[in-house]
Amino acid sequence: MSAESIHQVAVVLAALLVLAALVCAGVRIVRGPGGPDRVVALDMLSLLGVAATGIAVVASGSAAFLDIALGVALVGFLTTVAFAGFIERGSINEEER
């Protein structure tokens, strides 16, 4: 096998693993027993978005996707911090009802 074919196989394998993780995180968002579980799954989705853009960088060879990955990571972090604040205050805490 040449280096190019190994590279292509690695990119496809990484994309399939990210897709499987996206499905698992989506299931956790839908079936999560509580708000904190759904927030962790949402954080995982943002992390997987960064991973998907990283795979796009490797597959295309263009560094333009790195800015997108940075933006997705920033938005994901801020979303997680905001939801954690809501849970701490009890605004979306489902276990107290």
Whether the CB-CB separation of 25 and 19 falls below 8 Å is answered with no
The predicted model gives 32-45 an average pLDDT of: 88
In the chain, % helix, strand, coil (3-state, to 5) comes to 80, 0, 20
- In the predicted model, is pLDDT for residue 94 greater than 60? no
pLDDT given for residue 47 in this prediction: 93
At residue 92 the predicted structure's pLDDT band, cuts being 50, 70 and 90, is low
Higher-confidence residue of 86 and 16: namely 16
Domain positions in the chain are 3-89
Closest by alpha carbon to 85, among 49, 16, 35? 35
Helix axes 65-89, 35-60, angle to 10 degrees: 170
DSSP 81: H
